[in-house]
Amino acid sequence: MIANYTTKVPVQTTVAQVSAMLADAGAGQVMHHYGNDRKIAGVSFSLPGTHGVRAYTLPVNVAGVQRVLSAERTAGRLPGGAKAASEEQAARVAWRIAREWLLVQLALVQAQMVTLDQVMLPYLHVDTDSSGAAVTLYERYAERENLALTVGGETT
């Protein structure tokens, strides 16, 4: 079963907790992203690391979580009826998972088991797209891999 599937913590509460965790970790900026539906869709932030202050985006894929909840409900493994797989519940679950992930990553950094650069590397802003939105290192990597598959099926 997906983590936090029974959470009742409102999204805004979790977003505030994430923002506070980032501030405690030294974030100079925390920016909330909103979708066309005016619901919070993500968070970007800047943190000092080995190579200076860098910007990152924490992924929060509500649609992906909702697909998992719906599949679990269809398979009879998710109690609670339609509400258990609703978009609102998926948003609560997605943000709680993101919060837990961030909590663990920051604990690893604090314990000097890893550097901030190591754990945040995929989410590092490396470019902007044509609309001016940040593009992460992982997004550039995925784009390159998809292009390689399209052009002959071999990675160059």
Where is pLDDT greater, at 123 or 79? Answer: 123
> Percentage of the chain with pLDDT > 70?
96
- Two tokens, residue 149: 């598959």
CA 123 to chain centre: 9
pLDDT-derived band of residue 153, with 50, 70 and 90 as boundaries? low
pLDDT per residue over 15-35, tens digit each?
999 999 999 999 999 999 998
pLDDT per residue over 31-71, tens digit each?
999 988 899 999 999 999 888 999 999 989 999 999 999 99
**Residue 154: pLDDT above 80?**
no
- Nearest residue to 103 (alpha-carbon basis) of 47, 21, 28: 21
**Residue 82: pLDDT above 80?**
yes
- Domain positions in the chain: 11-121, 124-156
Q: For residue 61, count CB atoms less than 10 angstroms from its CB and return exposed for 0-12, middle for 13-18, buried for 19 or more.
A: middle
- Two tokens, residue 134: 């940040």
In the predicted model, what is the mean pLDDT of residues 62-81? 92
In the predicted model, what is the mean pLDDT of residues 122-138? 94
In the predicted model, what is the mean pLDDT of residues 114-143? 93
Torsion-angle region of 102 (φ positive above 0: left; ψ -120 to 50: alpha; else: beta) = alpha
- The Cβ of residue 37 has, within 10 Å, a number of other Cβ atoms equal to 7
The confidence score (pLDDT) of residue 81 equals: 81
